[in-house]
Amino acid sequence: MKFIRFGQPGAEKPGLVDASGTWRDLSGVVADMAGSTLGQDSMRRLAALDVASLPVVPAGTRLGPCVGGVGNVVAIGLNYADHAAEAGLKAPGQPIVFNKHNGAISGPNDDIWLPPGSAKLDWEVELGIVIGERAFHVTEADAMRHVAGFCLVNDVSERAYQMEYEGQWVKGKSYPTHCPIGPWLVTPDELGDPQGVDLWLEVNGQRCQTGNTRTMIFGVAHIVSYLSRFMALQPGDVIPTGTPPGVGMGMKPPVFLKPGDVIRLGGRGLGEQQQRVVPSPLA
């Protein structure tokens, strides 16, 4: 199944996409696509619904982030060997873990804000894992039982903040609007093998990134199991899993985003996003 959230920012309602591509309103069934709604029992009940009886979402309605109430965005860095190479960094022997502040989350087609004075704003198309059941010290073999589904993520990154300022990467990853997720939360049965997902990204119509999750250094099950050794993952947590090559930082010379640029990205089974870069309201 494909689940959505729709409506104005901060007032999104839950929904789903039926077999014909029609958006259906789930707000009469569940309060949100968040928390316990993402658990296995709840998802089985939603799968058994008479979808045709659900109200249709009006055309032109905004799509919000596909998961609500996200407590943590726990991301994996340098998870494609060819991306590590373009960044001039050694491929890691263990997953590189960093956080994006949950205040960075935005809808899949919302504008991206360019921070005041920013000159190194970059893009990263990624497969995102959405946790459905609490995961704490889970084995790799059991990890997928704790996954509600997957979504497309644009891990927008301000490279100066990330690489040139002292401290951790989180500063370069957390500006508002710098974590578009969606359009859909796709259940594992709908997506199929998460290690066979084509990913792509374009800037102003020019293809920049083309990759496939089969070339990830650390796969989905390993990532969930690994993280659960150090933290108790909670329902609704989102885990961006790294990006294939083609980011602006890796181009020669580097290319970064500016106001008016349009980013379009997608993945097999994950849908598409499109964002326009605009100056931050505080600029």
* pLDDT tens digit sequence for 262-280: 999 999 999 999 999 999 9
pLDDT at residue number 87: 79
**Whole-number Å distance between alpha carbons of 178 and 157:** 7
pLDDT band at 283 (very low <50, low <70, confident <90, very high): low
Q: Which two tokens stand for residue 219?
A: 């796969």
Average pLDDT, the chain: 96
Domains and CATH numbers, the chain: 67-279 (3.90.850.10)
DSSP E strand stretches across the chain: 2-6, 13-17, 23-25, 73-77, 96-100, 105-106, 112-114, 121-122, 125-131, 147-154, 157-158, 179-180, 185-186, 198-203, 206-212, 238-240, 262-267, 271-279
For the question of whether the overall pTM of this predicted structure is more than 0.85, the answer is yes
pLDDT surpasses 80 at 44? yes
Distances (CA, A) of 68 to 64, 98, 143, 153, 176: 9, 21, 22, 15, 16
CB half-sphere exposure, 166, CA atoms < 13 A: 0
Q: Which two tokens stand for residue 118?
A: 């920013």
For strand 238-240 and strand 96-100, is the pairing parallel, antiparallel, or unpaired? unpaired
pLDDT band at 85 (very low <50, low <70, confident <90, very high): confident
In the chain, % of residues over pLDDT 90: 95
**Whole-number Å distance between alpha carbons of 61 and 273:** 15
**Whole-number Å distance between alpha carbons of 33 and 40:** 13
pLDDT at residue number 82: 82
pLDDT band at 57 (very low <50, low <70, confident <90, very high): very high
> How many other C-beta atoms are found inside a 10 Å radius of the C-beta of residue 53?
8
pLDDT at residue number 72: 98
